[in-house]
Amino acid sequence: MSLGLGVIGCGSVFAGPYRAMIERLRADGRAHVAAVYDVDDGKRRRAAAHYDVDPQLRDPDAVTDADDVDVVLVLTSMNEHGALTKAALEAGKHVLVEKPMATSLGEAAELLELAETSPGLLVCAPHILLSPTFRAVHGAVRDGRIGELLTARARYGWAGPWWGEWFYAPGGGSLFDLGVYNVTSLCALFGPARRVTAMTGVAIREREVDGRRISVEAEDNAHVLLDFGDARFAVVTTGFTMQRYRSPAIEVYGRAGTIQLLGDDWAPEGWELWTNDDGAWRVFPEADPHWQWTEGLRHLVDCVESGRPTVTRPEHAYHALEIMLAAQDAGRDGVARTIESGFPDPVYDASFAELDAARAHDRRSHGGL
């Protein structure tokens, strides 16, 4: 059965990356777009015309309540995520929400509860834990290849969006938009963080966005320090303040070796392993250069079809949000915050081996996409 997708927010990520993933699911007869809604009339009409669905929907409830919608995609600006995801879960739908899952812990806590009690599955971006490269790195760490993890660095940044003023308004910012990837990755490797402190601020006070000069209110530059206990630390460097780089996304240092994930954690380019036993670097090229960060949608469809639990857990997204909010607070007053939440270690079951084989087959039949 092809699952009906209901899309809320038809902006840049929908029109580009998610559309490509939806097209592949549609070609395989696994999902199709059944309803779209955007507060912007033009974007809603264009999306509706593309998928030949009703262009007249007047509010998000028309998507979440539609009988032919099984899965709701929340792809709006970040401040809207919590309420829209809540409504979709309450309507009994499966939900994929872009990051962060919400912009306050209260909203996020409600989503965790609903994810437990409602019939729908909840998948929260980022979907980076699903990449073959991240899975290999996680496996190497759990197999003890570099021993106990002691320290780490991660970075993700760029010059910043030239669309969407909301990126620079309260509820936006580089931590929620970019730092979330590194925070999610590092915690997946180390386990839950216990304490956080940060330097955050606005480095570029004015920008041109959607052709207008705007004042930047949300932080666009951040260094976040994570404490994993027993004097084991990591730093996340993020911001709309980086033009280019050529450095690993993630560097993890253990008692007996080092792992470097190359590229960005949302677009990996392979990884490298040093072990003291080998006394040399091993280089693992990217296993699937076509892996896309929208893969969470396929994962959600896989889990709905198979009844398996999702590998990416809402608790992990909640933990990342708690860290980012604590980092914002610490950035304001310089006081380190204790982190209360935890999350289970990702479990990659045998279905991932099947998935890798299926993806290889897919690549052959779709000409490499």
Ligand X SMILES: NC(=O)c1ccc[n+]([C@@H]2O[C@H](COP(=O)([O-])OP(=O)(O)OC[C@H]3O[C@@H](n4cnc5c(N)ncnc54)[C@H](O)[C@@H]3O)[C@@H](O)[C@H]2O)c1
The footprint of ligand X (CB under 6 A) covers 8-13, 37-40, 43, 60, 75-78, 80, 98-99, 163-164, 177
- What's the min distance (Å) between Cβ of 145 and ligand X? 31
Looking at beta carbons only, is 177 or 251 nearer to ligand X?
177
Looking at beta carbons only, is 89 or 141 nearer to ligand X?
89
Looking at beta carbons only, is 76 or 200 nearer to ligand X?
76
- What's the min distance (Å) between Cβ of 39 and ligand X? 4
- What's the min distance (Å) between Cβ of 50 and ligand X? 14
Looking at beta carbons only, is 61 or 227 nearer to ligand X?
61
Looking at beta carbons only, is 103 or 260 nearer to ligand X?
103
CA atoms in the 13 A half-sphere facing the CB of 294: 19
The three-point CA angle 310-183-175 to 5° equals 115
Distance of CA 284 to the CA centre of its chain: 24
Could you give the C-alpha distances from 153 to 74, 158, 236, in angstroms and in order?
31, 17, 6
- 93-128 core/surface letters (b: 16 or more CB in 10 A; e: else): bbbbbbbbbbbebebbbbbbebbeebebbbbbbbbb
Give residue 204's identity as a one-letter amino acid code: I
Distance from C-alpha of 219 to C-alpha of 177, rounded to nearest angstrom? 11
Looking at beta carbons only, is 253 or 291 nearer to ligand X?
291
Helix H or strand E segment including 13: helix 12-13
Distance from C-alpha of 274 to C-alpha of 361, rounded to nearest angstrom? 32
CB 101 within 8 A of CB 317: yes
The three-point CA angle 139-252-124 to 5° equals 65
Looking at beta carbons only, is 40 or 68 nearer to ligand X?
40
Residue labelled with tokens 């240092």 = 253
Looking at beta carbons only, is 10 or 303 nearer to ligand X?
10
- What's the min distance (Å) between Cβ of 241 and ligand X? 17
- What's the min distance (Å) between Cβ of 37 and ligand X? 5
Neighbours of 15 (CB within 10 A): 14
- What's the min distance (Å) between Cβ of 306 and ligand X? 26
- What's the min distance (Å) between Cβ of 174 and ligand X? 11
In eight-state DSSP terms, residue 357 is: H
Which of 190, 181, 341 minimizes the C-alpha distance to 254? 190
Looking at beta carbons only, is 100 or 254 nearer to ligand X?
100
- What's the min distance (Å) between Cβ of 278 and ligand X? 36
- What's the min distance (Å) between Cβ of 359 and ligand X? 21
Distance from C-alpha of 321 to C-alpha of 314, rounded to nearest angstrom? 11
- The residue whose Cβ lies closest to ligand X is 11
